[in-house]
Structure 1
Amino acid sequence: GTLRVWEVDLLNRKMRPTECQMGQLKRVVTCLARFYIESLIMKIGLVAENDSCFYCGTSTGDILKMNTKTKLLNSCGPQKGRFSLLIMLYDCASPSLRRVQLQGAITSITLRGQGHQFFVGTSQAQIYRFNYPEFKEELVATCHSEAINDIVFPFGTSELFATCAKNDIRVWHTTSHKELLRITIPNMTCNAIEFTRDGKSILSAWNDGKIRAFTPESGRLMYQIENAHSMGVTAIAVTSDCKRIVSGGGEGQVRVWEIGRESQRLVESMKEHKSAVTCIKLKGNNRECVTASSDGACIIWDLVRFIRKQMILSNTLFRCVCYHPEEFQIITSGTDRKIIRNFGEIRIPAEGLQISAFPASFQSEQKIPLSSLLFSLPGGDDKLVKVWDYNEGEATQVGIGHSGSISRIKICPLSKYIISVSNDGAILRWKYPYPV
């Protein structure tokens, strides 16, 4: 409810605020305008004189006229009648009121063509199309309304992919961009997801400390592991035989679970990280995994003896890690704006290849082989998708399109597309520049 007018003192290089007085009127101001549409101002009785006032839009739909010199409320309008907060269609031929309940608050309405149709946008990232004669909604586009935390493709196919965010997991058709399945857990945040190799379940990590498994066709809950981690499950991976799950938690523990037909059993709990585990990747033989953490450590674990094999320390918050396709290197990236590849027997990241001096930190990274070269694809806070030559450390392509920080990037298994997701809920599909 606070409204201030700032006076700029150029001589002394200072700005001095003055509170505007609105009396008993309490409004939440959402926008300001010095000049307003003349016809609208005349219609509601607010007339600007010698540029001595400014106008405020409010959350209740009122327009406030404030005096620039006195900082006092001049007038408020327009006057509201009954039902002024409703959007409705009234048929004059057969008087009737028709209304439609949509998902989320209505945030925008726009006409199409000659006005025979109109589109409605909601706060839940839904876009509906209406025809005037039927006045029936048709969902034409949808997406996440919160930050997307993870994206994953099923093994061996590029037709589908899944994303997760607050409240839900969604499965999408890659080329048509259609939502095929939505799994909703209200008031919970899914931090990571993974398809099992056989494609029979979607594993998910949630901030309530549970691991949940769903069927990919119907979204039915298959099982859930209670109290998997005390501070929420932050990362998850599954072995190629679908018999074990490796999970990471906000408290820094890495746990191995054995999955049976009727039960889920904790096999071992490993504690080396001092902060949240951000990423887990398994080696092809299922006997080793690497974990990244925001404590600045990447640890390679022996999943047979359940001990630490190697540790890589760096002055950064690691966001992601992955194995080289031939599994003799690991590639890491984090908030220090560097992509680092580390050789198997080297513990100090500075001795590996570093691609540094980027404008923003990296949140996601993936690499794929291309003949004799390997390309690394990071994404981060600079909102750019970049493809880097793995051997030379040079950027070969830059993609511009995101308006929020990129949280995850994946290349589809058939190397046709790049899918990137961001903190504003956007999902972008890119053509991969080097098709195999």
Structure 2
Amino acid sequence: MSPKVLGRCLFLLLAVSCLAIGHPAQYEELKLPFHTAQIRAVDYHAQRLASLSYDGKAFVWEVGRPDPLLWLEDEAAHHIALSFDGRMVAVVLEQEVVVYKVDGGEVLARLTGHEGPVRKAAFSPDSSLLVTSSKDKTVRAWRVSDWGQAYLLQHPEECNAVAFSPDGTLLATCCGWEFGEIRLWDAREGSELRKMSLNTREEQAHSSAFLMPSNVLAFSPDGSRLVSGEFSGCKVWEVDSGLLLMRIDQPNNSGGPGVTAVGLEGDQLLFWDGGKLREVGLQSGEQLEERETPQDLVRLQIAGGDVLVTGYLHGKVAVEDPEGRQTWAAFGLDEAAEDIAFKPGEARLYGVTLDGTFLEWDGMTGRLSRELETKIPQVRTFAFLTDGSRLVHGTEDGLAVRESESLELLGRLRGHQATVREVEVSVDGRWAVSASDDGTVGVWDLQSEKLVKLLKGHQDAVVEVAVTPEADRIVSVSEDGTVRLWSRQSGEELARFERPGRKTPYSAAAISADGRLLAVAEAFLAEQPVVIWDLETKEMVRLLTMYEDRGAMDLRFSDDGLLWAADLGGRLTCWEPRSGEQRLDLPTGSGYGWALAVSSDGRALALGTTGQQRAVRFWRKAP
């Protein structure tokens, strides 16, 4: 056989193999218009918010609009700056700064010239200048009118913080580690006016921490004072004289960067050290107030005394008041979705958070189209009726029934003594079955809206239920380590599914559309497999091993009989359950895969993740 023919045969064999296992290229992820990774930088001006996450996604949002005005992606991006009029945004790359027009996304300039990595960028208040600081020990000022270089400022060390005075006449820069100094410059000409040393001899003897440079600089609204946020506190300076007016020590026990957000308003100083937002009186130096901030808050900007811009570990950004009582705008998920499901016959995905907020996404674009607070807490699960007209969700003591379009509450069904973990609805829409932390399984008649019976026998919380298409049999999964099969009509326990010598908690269960197969995911064992059982013979059909022993947290059968799993590593896997043939192995790079939704035809997938990345992501099968 000639090498050419042999090569063609090998290519065809590889193509057939990829097709057989459902190569990941079959599914294309929808690009979502919000962050799904940790926020790296934020900047807020003129009712517009620029945000950048560690995966290189950058957005510019406008308060009052759900969708971003501008959407950029570059893995090299590590800082972002918005002009004061909100019309331009500068994205800092490695040794280049790219400036975009917010409305339309036109590239206005690509600024190069630094001989080292660029660290920060900032626009002047009148948006006539853009300054960039670099590891090459320089700060460059660029004219917005023609994007030429206005002046170059040399420093003895790397410059890591820059700030303009409110009237735009002064520029403050900070370099540190060895020298530790703030320099004030005439922002129009680039001439140096004065220096302020961050590290007096007394401070150097007092603590090596004071040798660290400022993380952030900010002027007071009248331009008379300058505050520097440092590793172990703040300093307030008089701008005209360069004198140190006040030093506020704040022990840094976390080993983090220290104070990274500061703001002056009247006689009050606000600063944030990664854990608490503190307010100090400038006359007395006494702390007036302190507020604990969320543990997952990673970026904060004090935009004046009455506006905070926040960025979170899981990708949410928000504009809120300093007291934490009001949020004027928020982009991204605040809470992880406890459960998700496609509405039958439609390309819409619904989700619910633990506080009872229902979310609706357009499954074709991934855009979040609606949020509704139900005021009912402890909502962990919901299920649609087959015709999509209603949905049933769990509560702290039973079920609630809602009209699916308006989400109007149609009725409350009570009967459990603890939170409902899972709910399933029969194909004919007549019966609902619930799993509760009280250790029972509830059987509900949705026509009469009554609890028919409670199935008792489990010794611990019931975490999952699954129902056969005819709703004559029910499978329950409990933290007591048992999987039980029940008769709906009699309430009698018919069988238990146990592997010899194995007793372990389970994390998920599902019954195939034809009612013949049961899939259960074992948890907390070395291999954490998915076990396939035959519901008629009660025999084990197949043992499916999870990738790198990461347990499946959710299981779903599609109408074509394929089994889908979302695991703790955020991986999506699909098998033909009887043969064990793997059809899809899709690493998503997400956080913990918590909730999985598969459209009835298997062409659309959605994954809800928790942990550091609280997001819902979408995939659609390529044409």
> Which residue of 2 is the match for residue 40 of structure 1?
174
Q: 1:57 to 1:245 in 2, by over 3 A?
A: farther
Kept in 1, the 8 Å contact 2:542–2:579? The answer is: no
Q: What is the distance in 1 between the residues matched to 2:482 and 2:596?
A: 22
Cα deviation code 1:12-59 (max 9, x no counterpart): xxxxxxxxxxxxxxxxxxxxxxx982743533743598995447979x
| Deviation (angstroms), 1:200 | 2.4
Instruction: Tell me which residue corresponds to 1:242.
Output: 429
8 Å CA contact 2:424, 2:466 repeated in 1: yes
The residue that corresponds to 1:154 in the other structure is: 343
| Contact 2:341/2:351, CA 8 A, preserved across alignment | yes
Q: 2:379 aligns with which of 164, 172, 190?
A: 190
Letter in 2 for 1:340: V
How far did residue 431 of structure 1 move? 2.7
Give CA-to-partner distance per residue, 1:103-149, whole Å, 9 cap, x none: x9995579xxxxxxxx96656965579xxxxxxx997x844322321
CA distance in 1, matches of 2:401, 2:367: 23
**Corresponding residue for residue 267 of structure 1:** 452
Q: How does 1:34-433 map to 2 (within 5 A)?
A: 37=160, 39-41=173-175, 42-43=181-182, 45-47=197-199, 52-53=208-209, 54=212, 62-65=229-232, 80-82=264-266, 84-85=269-270, 107=299, 142-155=331-344, 157-167=345-355, 168-186=357-375, 188-206=377-395, 208-226=396-414, 228-260=415-447, 264-313=449-498, 314-335=502-523, 336=525, 337-347=528-538, 351-356=540-545, 358-359=547-548, 360-368=550-558, 374-423=561-610, 424-432=613-621
Secondary structure in structure 1 of the residue aligned to 2:174? helix
Verify the 8 A CA contact 1:182 1:219 in the aligned structure 2. no
Output the amino acid matched with 2:338: N
Alignment deviations for residues 318-362 of structure 1 (CA, whole Å, 9 cap, x no partner): 1221223332221111313101111225556xx431123642111
Query: Shift in Å at residue 184 of structure 1?
Result: 1.4
CA distance 1:325–1:222, change in 2 (3 Å): closer
Of 119-128 and 310-319, more deviation after overlay is shown by 119-128
Q: CA deviation at 1:163?
A: 0.9
Show CA shifts across 1:208-249 (max 9, x none).
2242222222222111123x3112111112223333321111
Distance in 2, Cα, partners of 1:184 & 1:276: 27
Aligned residues of 2:516 and 2:536 also touching (Cα < 8 A): no
- 1:366-395, Cα deviation, whole Å (9 max, x unpaired): 23365xxx5332111122222334344354
Task: State the structure with more CA Rg.
Answer: 2
Whole-angstrom CA distance in 2 between matches of 1:341 and 1:79: 60
Q: What is the aligned-residue RMSD (CA, Å)?
A: 4.0
Q: Distance in 1 between matches of 2:228 and 2:413?
A: 48
* Aligned equivalent of 2:38: none
Unaligned runs of 5+ in 1: 1-34, 67-72, 87-103, 111-118, 130-136
Work out the number of aligned pairs and report it.
351
Which one is further off, 406-415 or 234-243?
Answer: 234-243
How far 1:259 sits from its partner (Å)? 2.8
Write the distance in 1 (CA, Å) between the matches of 2:331 and 2:463.
28
| Cα separation, 2, equivalents of 1:358 and 1:106 | 31
Three-state SS of the structure 1 residue aligned to 2:477 is: strand
Change (3 A) 1:392 1:328: closer
Q: Counterpart of 2:532 in 1: which secondary structure?
A: strand
The alignment's TM-score, normalised by the length of structure 1, stands at 0.69
Q: Structure 2-normalised TM-score?
A: 0.49
Task: Supply the AA of the counterpart residue of 2:230.
Answer: I
CA displacement at 1:289 relative to structure 2: 1.9
